Structure 1
C-alpha cells in the first residue's frame, strides 16, 4: 500500500485491498475514493468489497471510476463535490494513482496556478508537466 501524498487534503495510490482499509482509518483518512473501474479488477477487489470495508472502518466511500484517458466534466464535478462536501483527508486509488492524481489536478484547474498543481502532483511522485498548458488555460 502506497501513500503518495499530493497535499494535506489528498493522498493517492494504486489498487488497495479490502484488508488495508482499516490502515487508512488508523492513519486518519476520512474518505476513500475508488477511481478504478470494476471491470479492471477481480471480484474481490471491486468497489462493493472496498465499500464494505470502508463502511466497517467508518470511512466515507465514493465510487468514481475513471477509464484511461477519459476524464469528463461529470467526473471532474463529482470529485470537486466530494472534496468540498466530504470529510478529509481523502485517500483515492486507481491502478497506479495516476488517474486519481490527474482527476484531482483537473478539479484544481482555474483555481490554483498550473505550476502549483504540477508541483503538488510531483510531491506525490506524479509528473503532470505534459498537462501544463491545459491546466493553465482552463
Structure 2
C-alpha cells in the first residue's frame, strides 16, 4: 500500500485495508479522512470496518466525506480543507485510488495561489496523476470551482 505525502501535514492513499492501519500508525498519522462512498464497489471494506482497524492501530480520529471526482463542488473543497485543518496532524486522506483526495487538496491550493503545475507535481509525487483534471484545475485557479 502506498501512503504518500502530498503536503506538510497531508498524506494520500488508495483504499485502506487492515494491514495499512499499522503502516499509517507507524508514519505518525493521527487522523484519517475517507472520501469514498460506502458500497461504491463490490468487495470494498465498509467505512466502519476501516475505522475499527485504524482505532485498533491507535488512530482514533476519523471523518467520512464521500465525494465523486467529476462532481466535486466548492463546498466539498471547503469542507475537506476545514476537516484537514482542524484534525489532529498529520492527516491521511483516502479514496479508491487517491485521486479524489488529491483533487480536493489541489483545488484549494490553486484557488489560493499555488500554480496548477505545482499542484499536479505534488499529486504526482503522491502517486496520483491529475492530468485528466487540468482544465478544471485551471478554471479553479482563475475563477474558483
Separation in 2 of the partners of 1:43 and 1:128? 26
Equivalent position of 2:53 in the other structure? 53
Displacement, 1:8?
2.4
Unpaired runs of 5+ residues, structure 2, are none
Q: Equivalent residue for 1:135?
A: 140
What is the number of residues matched between the two proteins? 138
- Whether 1:11 and 2:14 are equivalent positions in the alignment is no
Question: In terms of mean alpha carbon deviation, does 5-14 or 116-125 score higher?
Answer: 116-125
Question: Structure 1 112/56 Cα, relative in aligned 2: closer, same or farther at 3 Å?
Answer: farther
**Which stretches of structure 1, 4 residues or more, deviate above 4 A after TM superposition?**
none
Q: Aligned-pair RMSD on alpha carbons? A: 2.0
**Post-superposition offset of 1:42:** 4.6
Residue segments in structure 1 that go unaligned for 5+ positions in a row? none
TM-score, length-normalised on structure 2?
Answer: 0.82
Distance 1:19 1:120 in 2: 26
Query: Quick one: distance in 1 between partners of 2:120 and 2:69?
Result: 20
Change (3 A) 1:135 1:128: farther
CA shift digits 1:55-113 (9 cap, x unpaired): 23232111111124121233212211112111121111111111111111122232232
